Amino acid sequence: MPRKAKIDCIVFGGGGHARVVMECLRLSGVARPVAVVDANPALRGQRVAGVRVAGGDESLPGLKRRGLRHFAVGVGGTGDNRLRQRLFELGVAHGLQPLEVVHPTAICSPDATVGRGVQRMPGSIVNTGVVLGDDVIVNTGAIVEHDCQVGAHAHLASGSVLCGGVRVGMRAHVGGGAVVRQGIMIGDGAVVAAGAVVVKDVQPGDVVAGVPARPLRRR
C-alpha cells in the first residue's frame, strides 16, 4: 500500500526504468512524481505511469519556478551510463536535490555507506561495509556483498552478484545475472555482459562476456 508522499519530484526519462523508479517512490512514500522530463518530443503532454511529460531537459527552469526542488534519474540503460551521469549532473546544476529511490523490499546494512540519488530496487541486498557512490543503481534482486565499493553512476543490473570486496569503477555496468568473484576490480566504464562470471580484473572501458568472462572489445 503506497504511503503518503511528502515531496513532489521530477523524474528524468519516461521509459521502463522510470516507471520502476516512480513505483518505488510511491511505495516507499518518499516522494510523489509530478513531472517527467524526456528528450523524446513525441512524449510531450503524454502520461507515463500517470505522470505528465512536461517536455525535454529545457523544461527544468519552468518546473523549478513551479516550486519543484527534487529529482530522480529514471534512465537505466544496458551498458553506457554516460547519459545517467549527465542527467544526474544536470539536475544538481539546476539546484535540484537527488532523491534516494528505495523499494520497500530492498535490504541495506546499517553499516553501508550510500551516496546521493542511489537506487535500490525490489529485493536487492546491500551488505555490511559496502560503499555505493552517487547515482548507483542496485537493480532488482542484485546482491552487493560485504565491503564492495561501487563508483558513481554504475549500474548493477537485475540479479547480478558482487561477491565480497569487489571494486566497481564509475559508470561501469554489470549485466543481468552476472557474477563477480570476491576481490575483483572492474574498471571505470567497463561492461560485464549479462550472465558472465568474472574471475579476473576488468580493465577500464573493456567489455567482457562469457564463463569465465573474457574481453570482447574496448569501448
Q: Which chain residues interact with ligand JB2 by CB under 6 A?
A: 12-18, 37-40, 57, 75-78, 83, 87
Pairing of strands 47-48, 51-55: antiparallel
Q: To which residue does cell 541495506 refer?
A: 108
CB of 96 vs ligand JB2, minimal distance in Å? 13
CB of 142 vs ligand JB2, minimal distance in Å? 11
Closest CA to 188 of 198, 176, 201: 201
Comparison of 81 and 149: residue with beta carbon closer to ligand JB2: 81
CB of 85 vs ligand JB2, minimal distance in Å? 11
CB of 212 vs ligand JB2, minimal distance in Å? 25
Q: Which residues contact 174 (CB under 8 A, 6 or more apart)?
A: 142, 154, 155, 156, 157, 160, 162, 168, 180, 186, 192
What value does the CA radius of gyration of the chain take, rounded to a whole number of Å?
17
Contact 157, 151 (CB under 8 A): no
Comparison of 49 and 197: residue with beta carbon closer to ligand JB2: 49
CB of 165 vs ligand JB2, minimal distance in Å? 25
- Per-residue DSSP letters for 124-190? -EE-TT-EE-TT-EE-TT-EE-TT-EE-TT-EE-TT-EE-TT-EE-TT-EE-TT-EE-TT-EE-TT-
Give me the residue whose beta carbon is nearest to ligand JB2. 15
Contact 98, 31 (CB under 8 A): no
Comparison of 37 and 108: residue with beta carbon closer to ligand JB2: 37
Comparison of 78 and 113: residue with beta carbon closer to ligand JB2: 78
Comparison of 123 and 164: residue with beta carbon closer to ligand JB2: 123
CB of 6 vs ligand JB2, minimal distance in Å? 24
Comparison of 40 and 97: residue with beta carbon closer to ligand JB2: 40
